[in-house]
Amino acid sequence: MTFPLLVFAIDREIFAGNAQSLIVPGADGELQILADHTPLIVQLKEGDVRIEGENGITTKLPIAGGVVEVKPHEVVALVNF
């Protein structure tokens, strides 16, 4: 099962597509987001964002911080490098 995921930096789009999983370095610890996750907003700290695409390939992005919003029908991440 997948969900629409958008990942943006301040100056560009990093990822736009369907994902099976998103793992982010939340301020209170690592958080995994899957399809049908409860809506929430999470502040991110320095660490790695891991995106498992619908094809099963995992992409790892080192970030300096940011925020993730989990909405009922999509997930949006705004990240700083």
pLDDT tens per residue across span 35-56 = 999 999 999 999 999 999 999 9
Q: What is the mean pLDDT of residues 17-40?
A: 95
Q: What is the mean pLDDT of residues 8-31?
A: 95
pLDDT for position 77: 97
> 26 falls in which pLDDT band (50, 70, 90)?
very high
pLDDT for position 31: 96
Decide: residue 73, CB within 10 A, 0-12 exposed, 13-18 middle, 19+ buried. Answer: exposed
Tokens 């080192």: give the residue: 62
Domain boundaries, given as residue ranges, for the chain: 3-76
Q: What is the mean pLDDT of residues 23-37?
A: 94
- Domain 3-76 sits in CATH at 2.60.15.10
Structural tokens at position 15:
């990822």
Confidence (pTM): 0.92
